[in-house]
Structure 1
Amino acid sequence: MFKSFWGSQEQQASPRIQEVPQSSWYPPSVVGSNSSRPSTAGSASSSGLNVQRPLDHSPSSSIGPVPPSEASSIIFLLKDKSVDELRKLLSDKDAYNQFLHSLDQVKTQNKVRDDLRNETLQLTRENLEKEPQILELRNQCRIIRTTELAAAQERLNELQMKKDETLKFYSPAALLQRLQEAMNKTDVESEALYNQFLEKEIDLNTFIQRYKKLRTTYHKQALTHLAAKSSIG
């Protein structure tokens, strides 16, 4: 039937097909001049059919080149159609679109497109539903930054100051200074005790016990000061 239509009936169909309008609803992949198009397109061209690219951008015109396996299945659907049906597909946009969307390949692509669109819409709805929660979390983060974080920063600054004071208090220079001050204080106390003895404000036994204790403390402090100064130097 297919061979008979494009072979023995070529001369009969040629005058009638030439009457088809120059503008066709076929996409460029079907009517274009590429090596993968079926032989029927060459037959139609040899019979005087001058098919052009559609002037408008119909949905079908954006379809890319048809693979050979899919082209053969499309040819199988077209081979039993009459000349009038083929002419109608070439000239009638609605008829062409109806035939196009009846193909299994197109149905599959449309289903995939619809599934992707529905999934995208579902994700969008879920994101919109979570928007109040996102805003609430954002407000909580702002509150934490302005209150809890400020308090924690202030506490950290206080601890840092205490740390600096402690390090300064136990620094070698500070220890030497305190040892020197303790030595001076003990020396002054022992000198004052000696003056009290000269003024006979205290007796000899009391003077000896207290003075001996003060001078022992003084010499201990002096030896510690000397050792610390030597180790630091």
Structure 2
Amino acid sequence: MYSNQYSRSSGYGPPPPAAHSNQLQMDDTAITALLQNKSMAELQQILENEGKLDDIIQDLQQVKNINTERETSLASNKSIADYNLSLQPRFEQLKREVATEYEQLNTLKTELATDIAKLDQHSSQQSLDTLLAVLQTEAAKAEEQTEDLASEFCSKEIDVNDFLQKYIPSRKEAHTKRIKSEKMGEIIRNPSSSVHINYSSSVSTSITSYSSSSQSAPYPSNNAMPVPRMPYGGMGY
């Protein structure tokens, strides 16, 4: 009876976890044994004096254990809090290092983008230089072919009909390739100029002027190409 009355007047909350159920049962047994040894007068005095009841409760081993555990938990929590606070300078340092590394990463990304753009520009320039070299080589080959035809004609290795059929197309091709190589050189030297816009019209004009001038002679007379000299004694017919 006294045990039930103590439970109702103690004001404690919900039952403790199952891990401490044996300890609670032992305390109930201990307090029951303690109260059973009291006389009616002592029990009545305990009921009338809340201070005595509090002293009895605080003297229970379970309550002592709870107080000890509470103090231990408070000390442990304080130790953990102090340790976490001791980590704050290192944490702040790591934050600054991360921010610095992030800025360096952005700088490297910018430098990489710049290097890629330079590499693309260099590769493009190399491609243009290679194309110019090819055009110049082809133009030189075409010029050489026309010179060979002129030499063959002068040495009577080919007749006039073959010479006219081969020389005019060959000379026109050499002239076109030379114009192309010259215009490509201008484009590379002055990429911002409008020379590439007038390229096709310049080539067409050059070819047209060449065609009109070629009507009066089997070869152009206004360039540096060698003019075949007629062999002594005429054409032989």
Give TM-score, length-normalised by structure 2.
0.47
Larger Rg: 2
